[in-house]
Amino acid sequence: MMSNEVVQDWTDSTVLLKYGEHKDVRYKVYRDGAKLLQEITNPDDTPIRTLELPPGLVMEKQSYEVLLRYVLLDVLAGGAKA
């Protein structure tokens, strides 16, 4: 993993889901070769999901957090495997 380039280091976030529900998560964004990845975990580092982001999709912190909400809603609704 030494070859990974960190775009955004581990960040703690409380994500508003729906109906007043919140989920605490941690995430980081990094490059692994040509891939741009967002790794999402629980606060205890239990993996939730690693997403491959489209090429060139380097965003600001606020945009990554909006993406987190949609991913978590999908995971909690029984979407693709976590």
pLDDT digits (tens, 9 = 90+) for 52-74: 887 666 666 667 777 777 777 77
pTM of the model: 0.73
Residue type, 29: V
Measured between alpha carbons, how far is 29 from 11 in angstroms, rounded to an integer?
A: 9
- Is pLDDT at 80 greater than 60 in this prediction? no
Place of tokens 């070769």: 33
Residue 81: pLDDT over 50: no
Task: Please tell me the predicted confidence (pLDDT) of residue 82.
Answer: 40
Is residue 53 within 8 Å of 36, Cβ to Cβ? Answer: yes
Query: Phi and psi dihedrals of 60, rounded to 5?
Result: -85, 160
User: 17-21, 36-40, 42-46, 65-69: which has the highest mean pLDDT?
Assistant: 42-46
Cα dihedral across residues 8, 31, 54, 79: positive or negative = negative
